[in-house]
């Protein structure tokens, strides 16, 4: 909904069609349109939760049920008005989602989807077995929605209301994706490690997305109850949960519009299949579910990203939003600190019986480039992880500017002013260079989900984008600002990682094998960039396997072998050190 002018026209045309439908379309299509609107709202939550954040949920139908049953029971038994029951339903949903999230969101891999199936089924049976909810027959005589004295009884009147809410949800979700928390949510894909390195509390953000998706499902359920005017457990079963997920997957996660496309396609397809399959097969039954199953398999094989990217390819590309100049974001107070900037004190890491880092002690002085080198398996990356907080220490400590940071979570260490890159580049392929670097500035902003969804963050967002553009320029990547990170060469991707780390305004920059896999010219560009950063006063820890690369740019070197410090000194001294040469040659000979 942002971007070039044609998108605005497309959007206006879409709204015009929506307004025209209840006036001209036959009743059958109005009903179908209502359901597509309701499903779109649920699928939208799944686009965010599953498509963007990578958390699969089969259980959304249960949240729809909570929204529907809350309003059904409160309006019929206690005579509450629907507007109050919506607020109550949202509160109940948030509470249930928080509780379920606390239990299940820590699960990894296929355990989370399995857990969502489990509670999806549990809640379904709960609806059917609670006497006050009417058991499997459900609750009837739910009052219609009313705006003032105007009752939304007719399907045609409801159509506009349903779609107004669906469009509002689309708008809010599109805003959210294009914001500070949105970038954090996108960074959750593929694990917390990357997001947490820039100060995002991954577990908290995952819970926020989960609750957001549940709240959308609840709104859909509330609308459903007042559209149908009766509820029973059937539409909140695990079958429907699978269908919602199917809509989100078919539509595609690239855009919030994928939710509408998916909901439309699945609803129409189901309708068509229900009409023609029994005739074709000469018997009745839920044959459409079989066709759906086959289609899902084909889709997962052929078009992982859903159908939205195909549609988007047909549409004219909108020009990227230019980055206007804006006042700088708040900078860190890089006050001089007496003594070393960072002290690794007898740091030890044992993996079972293997001691990967064995009581290692060294300092990093302010303003220097310190190289940490050693043969493969020496324990460099593990040391790096102990400093960045990616791994907890077994014993020992890490002290930054005089304060212990040992075993603190990565997002806390980032807050103290330590930026990092990853040995294996961690970028989201479809996300632009600008967005990646803006994610790096996460800690320098304050916008939360609500502000972002309501688009109240534009000033901070302009400053964040301007800051990202400055860091991109500092690293010489301006020509690639709007390209997706996945389209760049490895050397450029590594530099994007450096720009992203710089955007958090770090006092200390940690780089894990930034030269690995780079060609000669790329290595030279990287070396020039690092020298430039040092000249600007940056302190850098460079973990590197490649001896030749570090010799030219580091001030001092610490050499590791088998988890221990083998030597420490100036590059020239290290180069002459017979023990170091032996360790490297020994490593090669093995």
Residues that bind Mg ion (CB under 5 A): 381
Stretch of 379-387, 405-413, 474-482, 581-589 contacting ligand ADP, by CB under 6 A: 379-387
Q: Which phi and psi angles does 335 have, rounded to 5°?
A: -65, 150
Q: Please report, for residues 33, 240, 268, 280, 285, the alpha-carbon distance to residue 276 in angstroms, rounded to integers and kept in the order given.
A: 20, 21, 12, 6, 12
Our finding on whether 565 is near ligand ADP (CB under 6 A) is no
Contacts of 533 (CB under 8 A, 6+ apart): 502, 509, 540
Closest approach of Mg ion to the CB of residue 545, in Å: 7
465 CB-side CA count, 13 A: 18
Our finding on whether 409 is near ligand ADP (CB under 6 A) is no
CA 465 to chain centre: 19
Our finding on whether 538 is near ligand ADP (CB under 6 A) is no
Residue closest to Mg ion (Cβ): 381
Cα 393-394-397 angle, rounded to 5 deg: 50
Going by their DSSP bridges, the two strands 395-400 and 342-351 should be labelled as antiparallel
Q: Please report, for residues 206, 207, 224, the alpha-carbon distance to residue 210 in angstroms, rounded to integers and kept in the order given.
A: 6, 5, 21
Our finding on whether 17 is near ligand ADP (CB under 6 A) is no
Q: How far apart are CA 302 and CA 298, in angstroms?
A: 6
CA 12 to chain centre: 29
Our finding on whether 382 is near ligand ADP (CB under 6 A) is yes
Instruction: Closer to ligand ADP by CB, 356 or 485: give it.
Output: 356
The owner of tokens 């180069």 is: 575
CA 531 to chain centre: 33
The first and second tokens of residue 495, run together, are 């530099």
Instruction: Closer to ligand ADP by CB, 180 or 380: give it.
Output: 380
Stretch of 12-20, 63-71, 101-109, 373-381 contacting ligand ADP, by CB under 6 A: 373-381
Q: Please report, for residues 22, 217, 318, 528, the alpha-carbon distance to residue 46 in angstroms, rounded to integers and kept in the order given.
A: 28, 9, 26, 44
Instruction: Closer to ligand ADP by CB, 65 or 374: give it.
Output: 374
Our finding on whether 494 is near ligand ADP (CB under 6 A) is no
Our finding on whether 286 is near ligand ADP (CB under 6 A) is no
Instruction: Closer to Mg ion by CB, 47 or 541: give it.
Output: 541
Name the binder of 354 from Mg ion, ligand ADP, none, CB < 5-8 A by kind: ligand ADP
Our finding on whether 377 is near ligand ADP (CB under 6 A) is yes
Length of the chain: 590
Let me know: does 462 contact 326? Beta carbons within 8 Å.
yes
Q: How far apart are CA 80 and CA 353, in angstroms?
A: 64
Instruction: Closer to ligand ADP by CB, 158 or 567: give it.
Output: 567
Strands (E), 408-475: 418-420
Q: Out of 173, 381, 481, 554, name the contact with ligand ADP by CB under 6 A.
A: 381
Name the binder of 565 from ligand ADP, Mg ion, none, CB < 5-8 A by kind: none
The first and second tokens of residue 478, run together, are 């301006």
Instruction: Closer to ligand ADP by CB, 465 or 565: give it.
Output: 565
How many positions of this chain bind ligand ADP (CB under 6 A)?
A: 11
3-state secondary structure 255-286: CCHHHHHHHHHHHHHHHHHHHHHHHHHCCCCC
Q: How far apart are CA 277 and CA 77, in angstroms?
A: 41
Q: Please report, for residues 19, 144, 217, 476, the alpha-carbon distance to residue 159 in angstroms, rounded to integers and kept in the order given.
A: 9, 13, 18, 52
Name the binder of 351 from Mg ion, ligand ADP, none, CB < 5-8 A by kind: ligand ADP
The first and second tokens of residue 363, run together, are 């300092």
Instruction: Closer to ligand ADP by CB, 188 or 559: give it.
Output: 559
Applying the rule CB under 6 A, the residues between 311 and 370 that interact with ligand ADP are 351, 354, 356
- 1, with CB counted inside 10 A (0-12, 13-18, 19+), is middle
Q: Out of 379, 406, 410, 417, name the contact with ligand ADP by CB under 6 A.
A: 379
Our finding on whether 374 is near ligand ADP (CB under 6 A) is yes
Closest approach of ligand ADP to the CB of residue 429, in Å: 25
Closest approach of ligand ADP to the CB of residue 392, in Å: 12
Instruction: Closer to ligand ADP by CB, 164 or 354: give it.
Output: 354
Instruction: Closer to Mg ion by CB, 163 or 422: give it.
Output: 422
Give the number of other Cβ atoms within 10 Å of residue 95's Cβ: 12
Q: Out of 380, 480, 534, 565, name the contact with ligand ADP by CB under 6 A.
A: 380
Closest approach of Mg ion to the CB of residue 381, in Å: 3
Our finding on whether 378 is near ligand ADP (CB under 6 A) is yes
Cα 430-173-300 angle, rounded to 5 deg: 50
Closest approach of Mg ion to the CB of residue 423, in Å: 6
Name the binder of 376 from ligand ADP, Mg ion, none, CB < 5-8 A by kind: ligand ADP
Let me know: does 552 contact 527? Beta carbons within 8 Å.
yes
Instruction: Closer to ligand ADP by CB, 357 or 475: give it.
Output: 357
Stretch of 176-184, 258-266, 374-382, 393-401 contacting ligand ADP, by CB under 6 A: 374-382
Our finding on whether 372 is near ligand ADP (CB under 6 A) is no
Instruction: Closer to ligand ADP by CB, 223 or 385: give it.
Output: 385
Helices (H) and strands (E) in the chain, counts: 23, 12
Going by their DSSP bridges, the two strands 508-512 and 395-400 should be labelled as unpaired
Cα 239-129-225 angle, rounded to 5 deg: 60
Name the binder of 183 from Mg ion, ligand ADP, none, CB < 5-8 A by kind: none
Instruction: Closer to ligand ADP by CB, 349 or 436: give it.
Output: 349
Closest approach of Mg ion to the CB of residue 428, in Å: 23
With the CA atoms of 540, 541, 545 and 550 taken in that order, what torsion angle do they form, in degrees rounded to the nearest 10?
A: 40
Instruction: Closer to Mg ion by CB, 381 or 539: give it.
Output: 381
Our finding on whether 390 is near ligand ADP (CB under 6 A) is no
Name the binder of 377 from Mg ion, ligand ADP, none, CB < 5-8 A by kind: ligand ADP
Closest approach of Mg ion to the CB of residue 267, in Å: 50
Let me know: does 364 contact 340? Beta carbons within 8 Å.
yes
Closest approach of Mg ion to the CB of residue 378, in Å: 8
Closest approach of ligand ADP to the CB of residue 300, in Å: 31
The first and second tokens of residue 540, run together, are 């850098």
Instruction: Closer to ligand ADP by CB, 83 or 351: give it.
Output: 351
Q: Which stretches of the chain bind ligand ADP, using CB under 6 A? A: 351, 354, 356, 374, 376-382
């Amino acid at each position: 909904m942002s971007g070039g002018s044609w998108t605005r026209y497309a959007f206006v045309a879409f709204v015009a069609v929506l307004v025209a439908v209840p006036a001209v379309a036959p009743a059958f299509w109005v009903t179908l349109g209502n359901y597509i609107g309701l499903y779109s709202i649920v699928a939208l939550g799944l686009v965010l939760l599953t498509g963007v954040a990578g958390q699969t949920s089969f259980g959304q139908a249960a949240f729809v049920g909570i929204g529907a049953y809350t309003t059904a029971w409160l309006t019929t038994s206690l005579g509450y008005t629907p507007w109050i029951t919506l607020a109550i339903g949202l509160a109940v949903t948030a509470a249930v989602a928080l509780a379920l999230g606390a239990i299940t969101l820590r699960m990894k891999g296929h355990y989370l989807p399995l857990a969502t199936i489990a509670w999806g089924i549990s809640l379904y049976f709960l609806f059917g077995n609670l006497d006050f909810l009417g058991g499997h027959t459900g609750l009837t005589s739910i009052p219609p929605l009313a705006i003032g004295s105007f009752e939304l009884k007719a399907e045609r009147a409801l159509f506009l209301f349903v779609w107004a809410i669906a469009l509002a949800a689309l708008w809010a979700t599109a805003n959210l994706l294009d914001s500070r928390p949105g970038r954090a949510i996108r960074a959750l894909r593929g694990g917390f490690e990357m997001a947490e390195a820039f100060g995002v509390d991954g577990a908290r953000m995952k819970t926020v997305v989960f609750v957001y998706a549940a709240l959308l499902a609840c709104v859909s359920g509330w609308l459903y109850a007042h559209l149908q005017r009766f509820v029973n457990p059937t539409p909140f079963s695990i079958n429907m949960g699978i269908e919602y997920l199917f809509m989100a997957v078919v539509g595609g996660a690239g855009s919030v519009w994928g939710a509408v496309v998916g909901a439309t396609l699945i609803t129409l397809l189901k309708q068509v299949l229900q009409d023609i399959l029994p005739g074709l097969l000469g018997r009745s039954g839920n044959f459409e579910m079989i066709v759906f199953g086959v289609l899902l398999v084909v889709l997962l094989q052929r078009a992982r990203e859903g159908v939205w990217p195909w549609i988007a390819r047909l549409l004219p590309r909108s020009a990227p939003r230019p980055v206007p100049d804006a006042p700088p974001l708040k900078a860190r107070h890089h006050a001089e600190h007496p003594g070393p900037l960072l002290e690794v004190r007898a740091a030890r890491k044992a993996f079972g019986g293997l001691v990967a880092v064995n009581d290692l002690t060294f300092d990093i002085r302010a303003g220097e480039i310190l190289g940490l080198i050693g043969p493969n398996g020496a324990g460099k990356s593990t040391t790096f992880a102990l400093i960045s907080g990616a791994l907890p220490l077994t014993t020992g400590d890490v002290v930054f500017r005089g304060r212990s940071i040992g075993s603190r979570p990565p997002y806390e260490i980032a807050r103290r002013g330590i930026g990092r890159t990853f040995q294996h580049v961690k970028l989201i392929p479809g996300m632009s260079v600008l967005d990646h670097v803006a994610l790096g500035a996460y800690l320098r902003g304050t916008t939360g989900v609500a502000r972002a969804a309501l688009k109240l963050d534009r000033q901070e967002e302009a400053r964040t984008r301007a800051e990202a553009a400055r860091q991109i320029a500092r690293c010489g990547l301006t020509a690639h600002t709007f390209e997706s990170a996945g389209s760049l060469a490895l050397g450029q991707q590594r530099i994007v990682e450096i720009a992203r780390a710089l955007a958090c305004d770090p006092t200390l920059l940690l780089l894990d094998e930034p030269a690995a896999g780079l060609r000669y010219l790329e290595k030279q560009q990287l070396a020039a960039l690092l020298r430039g950063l040092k000249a600007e006063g940056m302190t850098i820890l460079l973990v590197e396997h490649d001896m030749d690369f570090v010799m030219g740019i580091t001030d001092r070197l610490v050499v590791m072998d088998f988890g221990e410090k083998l030597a420490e000194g100036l590059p020239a001294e290290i180069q002459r050190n017979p023990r170091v040469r032996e360790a490297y040659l020994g490593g090669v000979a093995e």
